[in-house]
Amino acid sequence: MQYTSLSGFLDKGRDSLTHGPVAIILAEDKVELESTLRHHLELGFRTVLLLTNPEIALEQALAAKVTRIDFDIYQPNALQTAVNQLIEAAPGTWFYYGYNSEYLFFPFCETRNVREMLAFHTEERGAALLSYVIDLYADDLNAYPNAVSLENAMLDKSGYYALARPDPANHNHPRERQLDFFGGLRWRFEEHIPEARRKIDRIALFRAKPGLQLRPNFTFSDEEYNTYACPWHHNITTAVVSFRTAKALKTNPGSRYDIHEFKWHNSTRFQWSSQQLMDMGLMEPGQWF
């Protein structure tokens, strides 16, 4: 199904949001778009929404499995604008949001689907899940000039850290159960990354409710949604493995000529495995075993 605008979808197709979870994929370009869509379909999302410009083509067989919505991806805060409209239209629905060349992983995702995980988290009275955005990059930038290769993907095995998140409304004291997380390419090449975009934490899975708003820094207007744990135990955390930063660093004129290699002594090959991410401490199962 294809719609010519988000407002048109919300007018005629919002019934597809009733039975979640729903994955929202904003395609900024064609790079690994098909693999991104297939990955999230295989995770068990009941609906996958593709928001992108009309000129980006999609193979016919895959197009039949997703809901395509023509959308101006170049408008300011495009993703937040779309997500907030969808929140308003479907309170109670679980959503995931991300970009093309980004892939959601959660504990045991090879044998359990996303609906099972969210059912458990809902029973635990959770309404959001913290995700760490883990940078992927090709092992050879001469062979892969845009830094994207599924078969030869690397990630950093160390160099991640967290800082207290200050609360401006409370004399900048640390917020309870909230941290700002850093690492990966945004840390190693921070001179090319605006300070406001250096964090790697994102609340990528959440349950919509009236009045909820996604902010430009990937946190929500309800501060409880932004926590890494509930008051009584640790929550499940997830990972979004992403080529987006690497691709931007190698395509933007301001950085492409300064970067000749992303690999360093702490690089390791990505095995496309949730167990690898858990072993590295980049996500955890919480109480879900």
pLDDT of residue 288: 87
Closest by CA to 135, choosing from 73, 202, 52, 195, is 202
Residue ranges of the domains in the chain?
1-100, 102-201+208-289
Amino acid of residue 171:
H
Out of 34-43, 56-65, 120-129, 224-233, which region has the weakest mean confidence (pLDDT)? 224-233
- Residue 233 — very low, low, confident or very high, per pLDDT cuts 50/70/90? confident
Average pLDDT, the chain: 95
The pTM assigned to this predicted structure is 0.96
Please check the confidence at residue 214 and state whether its pLDDT lies above 90.
yes
Mean pLDDT of 176-205: 95
pLDDT of residue 33: 97
pLDDT of residue 262: 98
Q: What is the CATH number of domain 1-100?
A: 3.40.50
Q: How far apart are CA 72 and CA 79, in angstroms?
A: 10
Any residues with CB less than 8 A from the CB of 11 and at least 6 apart, and which?
Answer: none
By CB atoms closer than 10 A (0-12, 13-18, 19+), residue 241 is buried
Mean pLDDT of 93-98: 98
pLDDT of residue 230: 81
Mean pLDDT of 217-238: 90
Measured torsion, CA atoms of residues 234, 196, 248, 80, in degrees rounded to the nearest 10: 70
Encode pLDDT of 115-170 as tens digits.
999 999 999 889 999 999 999 999 999 999 999 999 999 999 999 999 999 998 88
Query: How far from each other are the two terminal CA atoms of the chain, in whole angstroms?
Result: 37
pLDDT of residue 1: 86
Cα 60 to Cα 34, 64, 181: the distances in Å are 11, 6, 39
